[in-house]
Protein backbone atom coordinates (compact mmCIF):
# COMPACT_ATOMS: atom_id res chain seq x y z
CA UNK A 1 0.00 0.00 0.00
CA UNK A 2 1.17 3.51 -0.86
CA UNK A 3 -0.26 6.53 0.93
CA UNK A 4 -1.16 9.53 -1.24
CA UNK A 5 -0.24 12.79 0.48
CA UNK A 6 -0.41 15.21 -2.44
CA UNK A 7 -2.66 14.89 -5.49
CA UNK A 8 -2.60 16.80 -8.77
CA UNK A 9 -5.88 17.00 -10.70
CA UNK A 10 -5.09 17.05 -14.42
CA UNK A 11 -8.34 18.75 -15.34
CA UNK A 12 -10.41 21.89 -14.87
CA UNK A 13 -13.80 23.20 -13.82
CA UNK A 14 -16.39 21.25 -11.91
CA UNK A 15 -14.67 17.86 -12.04
CA UNK A 16 -11.41 19.32 -10.71
CA UNK A 17 -13.34 20.84 -7.80
CA UNK A 18 -15.26 17.60 -7.30
CA UNK A 19 -12.05 15.57 -6.96
CA UNK A 20 -10.33 18.15 -4.76
CA UNK A 21 -13.20 18.29 -2.27
CA UNK A 22 -12.97 14.57 -1.62
CA UNK A 23 -9.17 14.74 -1.42
CA UNK A 24 -9.43 17.51 1.16
CA UNK A 25 -11.83 15.41 3.25
CA UNK A 26 -9.24 12.62 3.14
CA UNK A 27 -6.45 14.92 4.33
CA UNK A 28 -4.72 14.98 0.94
CA UNK A 29 -3.08 18.18 -0.33
CA UNK A 30 -4.20 19.25 -3.81
CA UNK A 31 -2.51 20.83 -6.81
CA UNK A 32 -4.48 22.50 -9.61
CA UNK A 33 -3.25 23.11 -13.12
CA UNK A 34 -4.76 25.81 -15.29
CA UNK A 35 -4.52 27.45 -18.67
CA UNK A 36 -4.19 31.19 -19.22
CA UNK A 37 -7.95 31.26 -19.86
CA UNK A 38 -8.65 29.69 -16.44
CA UNK A 39 -6.41 31.89 -14.32
CA UNK A 40 -9.35 33.02 -12.15
CA UNK A 41 -11.25 29.72 -12.18
CA UNK A 42 -12.73 28.33 -8.97
CA UNK A 43 -10.66 25.14 -9.03
CA UNK A 44 -7.50 27.27 -9.09
CA UNK A 45 -8.57 29.16 -5.98
CA UNK A 46 -9.69 26.03 -4.16
CA UNK A 47 -6.45 24.04 -4.49
CA UNK A 48 -3.56 24.24 -2.04
CA UNK A 49 -1.22 25.00 -4.94
CA UNK A 50 -1.83 25.94 -8.56
CA UNK A 51 0.41 26.09 -11.63
CA UNK A 52 -0.23 27.57 -15.09
CA UNK A 53 0.66 24.96 -17.71
CA UNK A 54 0.16 26.93 -20.91
CA UNK A 55 -2.08 28.81 -23.28
CA UNK A 56 -5.87 28.77 -23.46
CA UNK A 57 -6.19 26.00 -26.05
CA UNK A 58 -6.31 22.46 -24.70
CA UNK A 59 -3.29 21.32 -26.73
CA UNK A 60 -1.31 24.16 -25.18
CA UNK A 61 -2.21 23.30 -21.60
CA UNK A 62 -4.49 20.52 -20.37
CA UNK A 63 -3.24 18.04 -22.98
CA UNK A 64 0.46 18.69 -22.23
CA UNK A 65 1.20 15.50 -20.36
CA UNK A 66 4.94 16.19 -20.27
CA UNK A 67 4.42 19.57 -18.60
CA UNK A 68 1.93 18.11 -16.12
CA UNK A 69 4.36 15.37 -15.06
CA UNK A 70 7.14 17.96 -14.72
CA UNK A 71 4.91 19.97 -12.36
CA UNK A 72 4.34 16.84 -10.28
CA UNK A 73 8.06 16.28 -9.89
CA UNK A 74 8.66 19.92 -9.03
CA UNK A 75 5.98 19.97 -6.32
CA UNK A 76 6.60 16.44 -5.01
CA UNK A 77 3.18 15.17 -6.01
CA UNK A 78 2.34 11.52 -5.31
CA UNK A 79 -0.57 10.92 -7.69
CA UNK A 80 -2.53 12.29 -10.63
CA UNK A 81 -6.30 12.16 -11.00
CA UNK A 82 -7.24 12.79 -14.66
CA UNK A 83 -10.96 13.50 -14.15
CA UNK A 84 -12.77 12.89 -17.45
CA UNK A 85 -12.00 14.15 -20.92
CA UNK A 86 -8.55 15.55 -21.79
CA UNK A 87 -5.95 12.86 -20.85
CA UNK A 88 -8.24 10.59 -18.82
CA UNK A 89 -8.33 7.80 -21.43
CA UNK A 90 -4.87 8.34 -22.90
CA UNK A 91 -2.92 5.12 -22.40
CA UNK A 92 0.37 6.85 -23.28
CA UNK A 93 -0.15 9.43 -20.55
CA UNK A 94 -1.08 6.78 -17.97
CA UNK A 95 2.08 4.88 -18.84
CA UNK A 96 4.24 8.02 -18.61
CA UNK A 97 2.74 8.76 -15.18
CA UNK A 98 3.66 5.30 -13.93
CA UNK A 99 7.15 5.50 -15.45
CA UNK A 100 7.68 8.78 -13.60
CA UNK A 101 7.05 6.94 -10.33
CA UNK A 102 3.64 8.52 -9.81
CA UNK A 103 0.28 6.89 -9.10
CA UNK A 104 -2.28 7.18 -11.90
CA UNK A 105 -5.74 7.16 -10.34
CA UNK A 106 -7.39 5.00 -12.95
CA UNK A 107 -6.96 1.66 -14.70
CA UNK A 108 -3.72 0.32 -16.15
CA UNK A 109 -2.41 1.67 -19.47
CA UNK A 110 -3.07 -1.77 -20.94
CA UNK A 111 -6.75 -1.70 -19.93
CA UNK A 112 -7.17 1.82 -21.31
CA UNK A 113 -5.60 0.82 -24.63
CA UNK A 114 -7.61 -2.38 -24.92
CA UNK A 115 -10.97 -0.78 -24.20
CA UNK A 116 -10.08 2.31 -26.23
CA UNK A 117 -10.52 0.25 -29.39
CA UNK A 118 -14.10 -0.87 -29.84
CA UNK A 119 -12.98 -3.81 -31.99
CA UNK A 120 -10.31 -4.93 -29.52
CA UNK A 121 -12.81 -4.58 -26.68
CA UNK A 122 -15.33 -6.79 -28.47
CA UNK A 123 -12.67 -9.43 -29.08
CA UNK A 124 -11.58 -9.33 -25.42
CA UNK A 125 -15.08 -9.88 -24.01
CA UNK A 126 -16.16 -12.48 -26.58
CA UNK A 127 -15.11 -15.42 -24.37
CA UNK A 128 -17.66 -14.34 -21.73
CA UNK A 129 -20.58 -14.74 -24.17
CA UNK A 130 -21.70 -11.16 -23.70
CA UNK A 131 -24.46 -10.17 -26.17
CA UNK A 132 -23.18 -7.98 -29.00
CA UNK A 133 -24.82 -6.26 -31.93
CA UNK A 134 -24.33 -8.30 -35.16
CA UNK A 135 -21.47 -6.86 -37.20
CA UNK A 136 -17.82 -7.14 -38.13
CA UNK A 137 -15.15 -8.16 -35.67
CA UNK A 138 -12.37 -6.36 -37.53
CA UNK A 139 -11.70 -3.01 -39.19
CA UNK A 140 -12.94 -2.62 -42.74
CA UNK A 141 -11.01 -0.67 -45.36
CA UNK A 142 -12.16 -2.23 -48.63
CA UNK A 143 -15.40 -0.55 -49.72
CA UNK A 144 -16.69 -3.44 -51.83
CA UNK A 145 -16.07 -5.96 -49.06
CA UNK A 146 -17.73 -3.67 -46.57
CA UNK A 147 -20.70 -3.19 -48.89
CA UNK A 148 -21.12 -6.95 -49.23
CA UNK A 149 -20.97 -7.47 -45.46
CA UNK A 150 -23.50 -4.70 -44.90
CA UNK A 151 -25.89 -6.29 -47.39
CA UNK A 152 -25.61 -9.63 -45.58
CA UNK A 153 -26.27 -8.05 -42.20
CA UNK A 154 -29.22 -6.15 -43.64
CA UNK A 155 -29.85 -2.41 -43.89
CA UNK A 156 -30.00 -0.10 -42.09
CA UNK A 157 -26.46 -0.51 -40.76
CA UNK A 158 -24.13 1.66 -38.72
CA UNK A 159 -20.57 2.55 -39.72
CA UNK A 160 -18.55 3.42 -36.61
CA UNK A 161 -15.04 4.65 -35.89
CA UNK A 162 -13.07 2.05 -33.97
CA UNK A 163 -10.89 4.53 -32.09
CA UNK A 164 -13.34 7.06 -30.70
CA UNK A 165 -16.77 8.08 -29.54
CA UNK A 166 -19.06 11.06 -29.11
CA UNK A 167 -20.75 10.37 -32.43
CA UNK A 168 -17.66 11.22 -34.49
CA UNK A 169 -16.93 8.90 -37.41
CA UNK A 170 -20.45 7.46 -37.16
CA UNK A 171 -22.88 7.11 -40.07
CA UNK A 172 -26.28 5.45 -40.37
CA UNK A 173 -26.64 3.93 -43.85
CA UNK A 174 -30.13 3.15 -45.08
CA UNK A 175 -29.34 1.50 -48.42
CA UNK A 176 -26.52 0.02 -50.52
CA UNK A 177 -26.76 2.91 -53.00
CA UNK A 178 -25.33 5.46 -50.55
CA UNK A 179 -23.01 3.11 -48.70
CA UNK A 180 -19.75 4.04 -50.41
CA UNK A 181 -20.24 7.79 -49.90
CA UNK A 182 -21.16 7.36 -46.22
CA UNK A 183 -18.21 5.06 -45.54
CA UNK A 184 -15.78 7.56 -47.04
CA UNK A 185 -17.26 10.30 -44.87
CA UNK A 186 -16.97 8.14 -41.74
CA UNK A 187 -13.33 7.26 -42.47
CA UNK A 188 -12.47 10.90 -43.14
CA UNK A 189 -14.13 12.12 -39.94
CA UNK A 190 -12.53 9.36 -37.83
CA UNK A 191 -9.09 10.21 -39.24
CA UNK A 192 -9.58 13.89 -38.47
CA UNK A 193 -10.95 13.34 -34.95
CA UNK A 194 -8.79 10.45 -33.72
CA UNK A 195 -5.89 10.11 -36.16
CA UNK A 196 -7.20 6.64 -36.96
CA UNK A 197 -9.56 6.01 -39.87
CA UNK A 198 -10.42 2.43 -38.88
CA UNK A 199 -14.15 1.76 -39.05
CA UNK A 200 -16.35 -1.26 -38.53
CA UNK A 201 -19.93 -2.18 -39.33
CA UNK A 202 -22.78 -3.31 -37.15
CA UNK A 203 -26.53 -3.69 -37.39
CA UNK A 204 -28.33 -0.42 -36.71
CA UNK A 205 -30.77 -0.62 -33.81
CA UNK A 206 -33.29 2.07 -34.65
CA UNK A 207 -34.83 2.90 -31.27
CA UNK A 208 -32.45 1.83 -28.52
CA UNK A 209 -32.14 2.92 -24.93
CA UNK A 210 -28.63 3.78 -23.77
CA UNK A 211 -28.08 2.12 -20.40
CA UNK A 212 -24.72 1.87 -18.68
CA UNK A 213 -23.43 -0.01 -15.66
CA UNK A 214 -20.95 1.49 -13.18
CA UNK A 215 -18.18 -0.94 -12.16
CA UNK A 216 -15.48 -0.71 -9.53
CA UNK A 217 -12.44 -2.95 -9.20
CA UNK A 218 -9.42 -3.16 -6.89
CA UNK A 219 -5.89 -4.57 -7.16
CA UNK A 220 -6.92 -7.67 -5.20
CA UNK A 221 -9.15 -9.11 -7.93
CA UNK A 222 -12.46 -7.83 -6.55
CA UNK A 223 -14.90 -6.30 -9.04
CA UNK A 224 -18.46 -5.16 -8.32
CA UNK A 225 -21.12 -3.24 -10.22
CA UNK A 226 -22.99 -0.28 -8.75
CA UNK A 227 -26.17 -0.71 -10.81
CA UNK A 228 -27.26 1.16 -13.90
CA UNK A 229 -27.73 4.66 -15.25
CA UNK A 230 -30.28 5.54 -17.93
CA UNK A 231 -28.64 7.90 -20.46
CA UNK A 232 -31.05 7.91 -23.40
CA UNK A 233 -31.86 11.64 -23.53
CA UNK A 234 -29.13 12.78 -25.91
CA UNK A 235 -28.33 15.40 -28.52
CA UNK A 236 -25.65 14.72 -31.15
CA UNK A 237 -25.04 11.30 -29.52
CA UNK A 238 -24.06 13.08 -26.28
CA UNK A 239 -26.00 12.79 -23.03
CA UNK A 240 -28.02 15.64 -21.54
CA UNK A 241 -30.15 13.95 -18.87
CA UNK A 242 -29.27 10.83 -16.88
CA UNK A 243 -30.98 8.94 -14.10
CA UNK A 244 -30.47 6.01 -11.78
CA UNK A 245 -31.97 3.52 -11.68
CA UNK A 246 -33.60 3.03 -15.09
CA UNK A 247 -37.40 3.07 -15.24
CA UNK A 248 -37.56 -0.09 -17.38
CA UNK A 249 -35.06 -2.58 -15.96
CA UNK A 250 -36.48 -5.48 -13.98
CA UNK A 251 -34.44 -6.82 -11.05
CA UNK A 252 -33.61 -9.89 -13.14
CA UNK A 253 -32.41 -7.85 -16.12
CA UNK A 254 -30.43 -5.56 -13.81
CA UNK A 255 -28.63 -8.55 -12.31
CA UNK A 256 -27.91 -10.02 -15.74
CA UNK A 257 -26.53 -6.75 -17.15
CA UNK A 258 -24.53 -6.24 -13.96
CA UNK A 259 -22.90 -9.65 -14.28
CA UNK A 260 -22.03 -8.92 -17.90
CA UNK A 261 -20.48 -5.58 -16.92
CA UNK A 262 -18.35 -7.26 -14.26
CA UNK A 263 -17.18 -9.80 -16.85
CA UNK A 264 -16.22 -6.99 -19.23
CA UNK A 265 -14.10 -5.52 -16.44
CA UNK A 266 -12.55 -8.93 -15.77
CA UNK A 267 -11.64 -9.25 -19.46
CA UNK A 268 -9.16 -6.37 -19.08
CA UNK A 269 -8.19 -6.85 -15.40
CA UNK A 270 -9.86 -3.54 -14.62
CA UNK A 271 -8.86 -1.46 -11.60
CA UNK A 272 -10.72 1.63 -10.41
CA UNK A 273 -14.02 3.15 -11.53
CA UNK A 274 -15.25 2.43 -15.05
CA UNK A 275 -18.47 2.24 -17.01
CA UNK A 276 -19.75 -0.48 -19.33
CA UNK A 277 -22.25 0.83 -21.86
CA UNK A 278 -25.07 -1.15 -23.44
CA UNK A 279 -27.78 -0.63 -26.02
CA UNK A 280 -31.20 -1.98 -25.02
CA UNK A 281 -33.84 -2.54 -27.71
CA UNK A 282 -37.62 -2.25 -27.46
CA UNK A 283 -37.84 -5.91 -26.35
CA UNK A 284 -35.29 -5.33 -23.57
CA UNK A 285 -32.58 -7.29 -25.35
CA UNK A 286 -29.24 -5.73 -24.46
CA UNK A 287 -25.98 -5.51 -26.39
CA UNK A 288 -22.46 -4.54 -25.29
CA UNK A 289 -21.44 -1.19 -26.77
CA UNK A 290 -18.13 -0.13 -25.18
CA UNK A 291 -16.33 0.51 -21.91
CA UNK A 292 -15.30 3.96 -20.70
CA UNK A 293 -12.14 3.63 -18.63
CA UNK A 294 -12.65 6.66 -16.39
CA UNK A 295 -15.03 8.41 -14.07
CA UNK A 296 -18.17 9.45 -15.94
CA UNK A 297 -19.76 12.90 -16.03
CA UNK A 298 -22.95 11.35 -14.67
CA UNK A 299 -21.33 9.55 -11.72
CA UNK A 300 -23.25 11.68 -9.13
CA UNK A 301 -26.52 9.82 -9.75
CA UNK A 302 -24.81 6.55 -8.83
CA UNK A 303 -23.38 8.19 -5.71
CA UNK A 304 -26.85 9.36 -4.71
CA UNK A 305 -28.51 5.93 -4.93
CA UNK A 306 -25.62 3.96 -3.38
CA UNK A 307 -24.34 6.39 -0.76
CA UNK A 308 -20.78 5.90 -2.03
CA UNK A 309 -18.22 8.58 -2.89
CA UNK A 310 -16.76 7.24 -6.14
CA UNK A 311 -13.76 9.55 -6.04
CA UNK A 312 -12.93 8.36 -2.54
CA UNK A 313 -13.21 4.77 -3.75
CA UNK A 314 -10.88 5.56 -6.67
CA UNK A 315 -8.28 7.01 -4.33
CA UNK A 316 -8.56 4.14 -1.86
CA UNK A 317 -8.10 1.59 -4.67
CA UNK A 318 -5.14 3.54 -6.08
CA UNK A 319 -3.49 3.36 -2.65
CA UNK A 320 -3.78 -0.44 -2.76
CA UNK A 321 -6.76 -0.90 -0.45
CA UNK A 322 -9.24 -3.69 -1.17
CA UNK A 323 -12.89 -2.74 -1.70
CA UNK A 324 -14.64 -2.39 1.66
CA UNK A 325 -17.82 -4.07 0.39
CA UNK A 326 -18.99 -7.00 -1.71
CA UNK A 327 -21.73 -7.15 -4.35
CA UNK A 328 -24.29 -8.45 -1.85
CA UNK A 329 -23.68 -5.42 0.37
CA UNK A 330 -24.86 -2.99 -2.31
CA UNK A 331 -28.48 -1.88 -2.66
CA UNK A 332 -30.38 0.83 -4.52
CA UNK A 333 -31.80 3.54 -2.29
CA UNK A 334 -34.17 6.05 -3.90
CA UNK A 335 -33.89 7.67 -7.31
CA UNK A 336 -31.58 10.33 -8.76
CA UNK A 337 -31.65 12.57 -11.85
CA UNK A 338 -28.93 14.66 -13.46
CA UNK A 339 -29.38 17.51 -15.93
CA UNK A 340 -26.26 18.76 -17.65
CA UNK A 341 -26.59 22.52 -17.70
CA UNK A 342 -24.81 23.55 -20.88
CA UNK A 343 -24.18 27.04 -22.25
CA UNK A 344 -26.14 26.05 -25.33
CA UNK A 345 -29.24 27.34 -27.07
CA UNK A 346 -31.75 24.48 -27.43
CA UNK A 347 -33.83 26.68 -29.75
CA UNK A 348 -30.84 26.95 -32.10
CA UNK A 349 -29.92 23.29 -32.54
CA UNK A 350 -28.11 23.26 -29.16
CA UNK A 351 -25.30 25.44 -30.50
CA UNK A 352 -22.90 26.83 -27.86
CA UNK A 353 -23.87 30.24 -26.50
CA UNK A 354 -20.67 31.49 -24.96
CA UNK A 355 -20.75 34.67 -22.88
CA UNK A 356 -20.75 36.11 -19.37
CA UNK A 357 -22.82 34.81 -16.47
CA UNK A 358 -24.52 38.10 -15.64
CA UNK A 359 -26.73 36.34 -13.09
CA UNK A 360 -25.80 33.03 -11.52
CA UNK A 361 -27.72 31.75 -8.50
CA UNK A 362 -27.80 28.05 -7.68
CA UNK A 363 -30.88 26.19 -6.47
CA UNK A 364 -30.76 24.84 -2.94
CA UNK A 365 -32.75 22.65 -0.59
CA UNK A 366 -33.10 19.03 0.43
CA UNK A 367 -32.28 16.58 -2.35
CA UNK A 368 -30.57 19.13 -4.63
CA UNK A 369 -26.88 18.95 -5.59
CA UNK A 370 -25.02 21.30 -7.94
CA UNK A 371 -21.56 20.35 -9.23
CA UNK A 372 -20.17 23.39 -11.03
CA UNK A 373 -17.05 25.48 -11.57
CA UNK A 374 -18.47 28.96 -12.10
CA UNK A 375 -19.84 31.92 -10.22
CA UNK A 376 -21.67 35.12 -11.14
CA UNK A 377 -19.69 37.47 -13.38
CA UNK A 378 -17.43 34.81 -14.85
CA UNK A 379 -17.11 34.15 -18.57
CA UNK A 380 -17.69 30.76 -20.20
CA UNK A 381 -14.42 30.10 -22.09
CA UNK A 382 -14.76 29.36 -25.77
CA UNK A 383 -11.95 26.81 -25.70
CA UNK A 384 -13.59 24.01 -23.72
CA UNK A 385 -16.77 21.99 -23.32
CA UNK A 386 -19.66 24.43 -22.66
CA UNK A 387 -21.02 22.61 -19.60
CA UNK A 388 -21.69 25.03 -16.76
CA UNK A 389 -22.92 22.61 -14.14
CA UNK A 390 -24.47 19.27 -13.32
CA UNK A 391 -27.80 19.70 -11.57
CA UNK A 392 -28.64 16.59 -9.55
CA UNK A 393 -31.76 15.78 -7.56
CA UNK A 394 -32.55 12.85 -5.29
CA UNK A 395 -35.86 11.54 -3.99
CA UNK A 396 -37.38 8.49 -2.39
CA UNK A 397 -38.71 7.48 -5.83
CA UNK A 398 -38.64 8.64 -9.46
CA UNK A 399 -41.64 10.93 -9.12
CA UNK A 400 -40.13 12.78 -6.18
CA UNK A 401 -36.78 13.13 -7.98
CA UNK A 402 -38.60 14.64 -11.00
CA UNK A 403 -40.57 17.05 -8.79
CA UNK A 404 -37.39 18.21 -7.09
CA UNK A 405 -35.66 18.67 -10.46
CA UNK A 406 -38.51 20.81 -11.80
CA UNK A 407 -38.39 22.97 -8.67
CA UNK A 408 -34.59 23.25 -8.91
CA UNK A 409 -34.75 24.26 -12.58
CA UNK A 410 -37.19 27.04 -11.74
CA UNK A 411 -34.96 28.17 -8.87
CA UNK A 412 -31.74 28.15 -10.93
CA UNK A 413 -31.13 31.73 -12.12
CA UNK A 414 -28.78 32.17 -15.09
CA UNK A 415 -28.80 35.20 -17.37
CA UNK A 416 -26.38 36.47 -19.98
CA UNK A 417 -26.40 33.25 -21.97
CA UNK A 418 -28.86 30.61 -23.13
CA UNK A 419 -28.76 27.25 -21.32
CA UNK A 420 -30.29 23.79 -21.45
CA UNK A 421 -32.43 24.47 -18.36
CA UNK A 422 -35.64 25.11 -20.39
CA UNK A 423 -34.99 21.97 -22.40
CA UNK A 424 -34.61 19.97 -19.20
CA UNK A 425 -37.95 21.26 -17.95
CA UNK A 426 -39.60 20.32 -21.25
CA UNK A 427 -38.25 16.77 -21.05
CA UNK A 428 -39.23 16.21 -17.43
CA UNK A 429 -42.80 17.32 -18.11
CA UNK A 430 -43.21 15.29 -21.30
CA UNK A 431 -45.50 12.27 -21.10
CA UNK A 432 -42.93 10.00 -22.77
CA UNK A 433 -40.32 10.75 -20.11
CA UNK A 434 -42.74 10.67 -17.19
CA UNK A 435 -44.04 7.28 -18.30
CA UNK A 436 -40.53 5.95 -18.92
CA UNK A 437 -41.47 5.12 -22.52
CA UNK A 438 -38.61 6.84 -24.35
CA UNK A 439 -35.31 6.08 -26.11
CA UNK A 440 -32.39 7.86 -27.76
CA UNK A 441 -34.77 9.28 -30.40
CA UNK A 442 -36.56 11.48 -27.85
CA UNK A 443 -35.34 14.81 -29.25
CA UNK A 444 -35.94 13.72 -32.83
CA UNK A 445 -39.50 12.65 -32.04
CA UNK A 446 -40.72 15.25 -29.59
CA UNK A 447 -38.55 18.35 -29.49
CA UNK A 448 -38.74 21.41 -31.70
CA UNK A 449 -37.53 24.92 -30.82
CA UNK A 450 -41.15 26.12 -30.84
CA UNK A 451 -41.97 24.19 -27.68
CA UNK A 452 -39.70 26.50 -25.65
CA UNK A 453 -41.44 29.67 -26.80
CA UNK A 454 -43.65 31.16 -24.05
CA UNK A 455 -47.37 31.22 -24.72
CA UNK A 456 -49.47 34.16 -23.67
CA UNK A 457 -52.23 33.49 -21.14
CA UNK A 458 -55.84 34.44 -21.91
CA UNK A 459 -55.50 37.53 -19.72
CA UNK A 460 -52.30 38.54 -21.48
CA UNK A 461 -53.97 38.06 -24.86
CA UNK A 462 -56.80 40.41 -23.81
CA UNK A 463 -54.36 43.04 -22.56
CA UNK A 464 -52.35 42.79 -25.76
CA UNK A 465 -55.44 43.23 -27.94
CA UNK A 466 -56.53 46.26 -25.87
CA UNK A 467 -53.07 47.81 -26.15
CA UNK A 468 -53.05 47.27 -29.89
CA UNK A 469 -56.49 48.90 -30.26
CA UNK A 470 -55.42 51.88 -28.11
CA UNK A 471 -52.28 52.30 -30.16
CA UNK A 472 -54.29 52.30 -33.37
CA UNK A 473 -56.65 55.00 -32.02
CA UNK A 474 -53.81 57.28 -30.91
CA UNK A 475 -51.67 56.95 -34.03
CA UNK A 476 -54.52 57.03 -36.61
CA UNK A 477 -52.32 55.19 -39.12
CA UNK A 478 -52.20 56.11 -42.74
CA UNK A 479 -52.49 53.59 -45.54
CA UNK A 480 -48.69 53.60 -45.82
CA UNK A 481 -48.08 52.48 -42.24
CA UNK A 482 -51.13 50.28 -41.68
CA UNK A 483 -49.12 47.15 -42.43
CA UNK A 484 -46.83 47.97 -39.52
CA UNK A 485 -49.78 48.33 -37.18
CA UNK A 486 -51.23 45.02 -38.26
CA UNK A 487 -47.92 43.25 -37.51
CA UNK A 488 -48.32 43.75 -33.75
CA UNK A 489 -48.59 40.30 -32.18
CA UNK A 490 -49.25 39.01 -28.72
CA UNK A 491 -46.11 36.87 -28.80
CA UNK A 492 -43.92 39.91 -29.50
CA UNK A 493 -45.64 41.88 -26.76
CA UNK A 494 -44.97 39.15 -24.22
CA UNK A 495 -41.41 38.66 -25.35
CA UNK A 496 -40.59 42.36 -24.98
CA UNK A 497 -42.42 43.05 -21.74
CA UNK A 498 -40.44 44.25 -18.74
Catalytic positions, please?
294
* Residue among 326, 325, 316, 323 at smallest CA distance from 1: 316
Alpha helices of 131-282 — where are they, by DSSP H?
143-153, 179-194, 251-267
398, 435 contact by CB (below 8 A): no
* Residue among 306, 319, 303 at smallest CA distance from 271: 319
The SS3 assignment for 34 reads strand
Residue 30's DSSP bridge partners are: 7
> How far is Cα 158 from Cα 201, in angstroms, rounded to an integer?
6
CA distances from 481 to 379, 475, 478, 487, 493 (A): 43, 10, 6, 10, 19
The SS3 assignment for 234 reads strand
> How far is Cα 342 from Cα 390, in angstroms, rounded to an integer?
9
Q: State the CB neighbour count (10 A cutoff) for residue 472.
A: 14
> How far is Cα 274 from Cα 289, in angstroms, rounded to an integer?
14
Tell me the DSSP string of 355-391: -B-SEEE---STTEEEEES--TT-B--TTS--EEEEE
The SS3 assignment for 394 reads strand
176: alpha, beta or left, given left = phi > 0 and alpha = psi -120 to 50? Answer: alpha
> How far is Cα 262 from Cα 125, in angstroms, rounded to an integer?
11
> How far is Cα 2 from Cα 446, in angstroms, rounded to an integer?
52
Residue 106 φ/ψ, nearest 5 degrees:
170, -175
Count Cα atoms within 13 angstroms, Cβ side, for 280. 26
Taking only Cα atoms into account, the Rg of the chain, rounded to an integer number of angstroms, comes to 25
Strands (DSSP E) contained in 55-139 are 79-81, 103-104
Q: How far is residue 361 CA from its own chain's centroid?
A: 23
Amino acid sequence: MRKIKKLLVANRGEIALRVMRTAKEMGIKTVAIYSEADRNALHVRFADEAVCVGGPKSNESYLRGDVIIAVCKQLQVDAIHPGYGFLSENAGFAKAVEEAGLIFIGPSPEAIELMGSKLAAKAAVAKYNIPMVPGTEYAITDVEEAKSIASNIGFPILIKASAGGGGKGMRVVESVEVFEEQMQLAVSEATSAFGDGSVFIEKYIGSPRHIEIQVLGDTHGNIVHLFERECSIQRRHQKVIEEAPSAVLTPELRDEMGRCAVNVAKACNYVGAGTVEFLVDENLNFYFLEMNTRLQVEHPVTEQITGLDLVREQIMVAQGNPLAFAQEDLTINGHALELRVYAEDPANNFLPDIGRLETYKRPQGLGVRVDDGFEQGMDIPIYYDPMIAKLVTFGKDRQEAIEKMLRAIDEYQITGIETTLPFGKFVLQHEAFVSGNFDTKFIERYFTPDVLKPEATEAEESIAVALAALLMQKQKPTIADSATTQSISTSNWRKNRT
